[in-house]
Amino acid sequence: MKKLFIVLLSVLLLTGCSSSHSSFDESDHHQEITVNDLNILAPSGAPALALVDLFETHSDNITIVEGADVLQASFVNPQPEYDVIIAPTNLGVKLAQSKKTDYRLAAVITWGNLYILAENEEVLKNEDLVFAAFGEQAVPGLVFESVKDELDIENVVYYNAVTEAQAALLAKNASAALIAEPAASATIAKAKQQNINLSIVANIQELWEHKTGSFGYPQASIFVLESENNHEALSDLLTQIDNNILKMNEAIEKGDTDSLVFLIDAVSAETLGVPNAQIVANGYLRMGLDYRTASDCEQELSDFLSLFGITYDSSIAVR
C-alpha cells in the first residue's frame, strides 16, 4: 500500500509539472496579435487616405508624418516601432535591396497623382511659357522629366515644394505648373477666388502610360515587418486596406462623396495633410489610389525604379 501511494503521488507530481510547463509555453509563444495591435506609419497626403477607414478603430496606432526623413529613419531603426510603413516605393525598395532594412514590399497603393494646370491647353504651346515644377530629384521631377518631351516643354523652373509651384502659378509668375493631387484641386479652387480659371490640361499618368506601356507608376507602397506572431494580423490588415480602397473608388465613381467627406472630417483634414474634405472628395479619383500586390506589378515596379538607377529585385517582396 505504501509503495502504491508513492507511485500515485509521483504520477500526480509529474502530471502537475507537465501541465504547468505546457501552459507557460502556450502563453509565452502564442500571443494573439490582431490588426488593432499593429503600428502603422504613413506620409501625409494621398497615401494617408488609404488608411482613412481604419482611423475609427485604429487611430491610436496610426502615425501620419510629413516628408521622408521620419520614414527613412523608421526603416533603419534597430528597434523598429512600426509593423507597417507606407512610403515612396523607391525609398523602401532601395533600403531593402541594400540590406539596410528588414521591411519587405507588400503592395503598391498609389499610382501617380501629377497633373499640369493652366488656363487652357494652348498655353503649353506658347514659346514664352514659364513652367513651374517641384521635386526635381524626387518622384515628381523625375517622372515629369521622363515624359515632358511629349508636351515639348523646355523652360522649367523647379521649386522645393508643391506649395511653392502652386504659389508661382497663382501669382502668375508661371503660366503652367506641375501640381499633385489633392493640391491640384485646391489650386483650382483658390484660383477661382482670384478670378483665375485654371483647369487640368495634361495628365502625367496618361503620358507615362503612353510612353512606357505600364499601368501608371508605383509611387507609394506598403512595406511590412513580418514576425512569427503577426503574419495573420498583417494579412488581415492588407485585406482591409485593399477592400477599403476598392469600396471608396466604387462609391466615388457612382458620385457618392458623402462617405469620404464624413471619414476625412472625423479624422481631420489637418491630420491627413490634405485640403478640406469636399475638395479631396471631388479630386479623389485623380489621386491614383489602387491596391495591387507587388507580385502583380513587377514590370511596373521595374520601369519606375529604373528612373532612380535601381534594378528591381522581386526577392524583397512578400510572397
**Do 126 and 191 belong together in one domain?**
yes
| CB 94 within 8 Å of CB 308 | yes
The pLDDT tens digits for 31-50 are 568 888 899 999 999 999 99
Q: Is the pLDDT confidence value at 27 over 70?
A: no
**Residue 266 sits in the same domain as residue 303:** yes
Q: 135 and 98 in one domain? A: no
- Please report which confidence band the pLDDT of residue 282 belongs to, taking 50, 70 and 90 as the band edges: very high
Give pLDDT, residue 57.
85
**What is the structure's pLDDT at 25?**
37
pLDDT at 52: 94
CA separation (Å) from 273 to 261, 285, 297?
14, 17, 28
Q: Is the pLDDT of residue 284 over 90?
A: yes
- In whole angstroms, give the CA distance from residue 263 to residue 252: 13
Q: Is residue 9 part of a domain?
A: no
- Residue 181 and residue 198 in one domain: yes
Decide if 205 is inside a domain: yes
Asked if residue 155 and residue 198 are part of one domain, the reply reads: yes
Residues 47 and 193 in one domain: no
Q: What is the pTM of this model?
A: 0.86
Better-scored residue on pLDDT, 77 or 8: 77
Note whether 74 and 162 are same-domain residues.
no
Q: Which amino acid does the sequence have at 8? A: L
Q: Are 203 and 290 in the same domain?
A: no
CATH of the domain at 148: 3.40.190.10
The verdict on 223 and 299 lying in the same domain is yes
- Whether 17 maps to a domain, the answer reads no
Q: How buried is 172 (Cβ within 10 angstroms: 0-12 exposed, 13-18 middle, 19+ buried)?
A: exposed
pLDDT digits 0-9 by tens, 128-162: 999 999 999 999 999 999 999 989 898 899 999 99
- 96 and 136, same domain (yes or no): no
**Rounded to 5 degrees, what angle do the CA atoms 38, 44, 47 make?**
70
Residue 85 structural domain? 35-111+216-316
The domain tally of the chain equals: 2
99 and 187 fall within a common domain: no
pLDDT tens, position by position, 49-88 = 999 999 988 889 999 999 889 999 999 999 999 999 999 9
Whether residue 224 is found in the same domain as residue 236: yes
Cβ neighbours of residue 230 under 8 Å, at least 6 residues apart? 33, 37, 38, 83
Last residue of a domain, one of 212, 231, 255: 212
**For the chain, what is the mean pLDDT?**
89
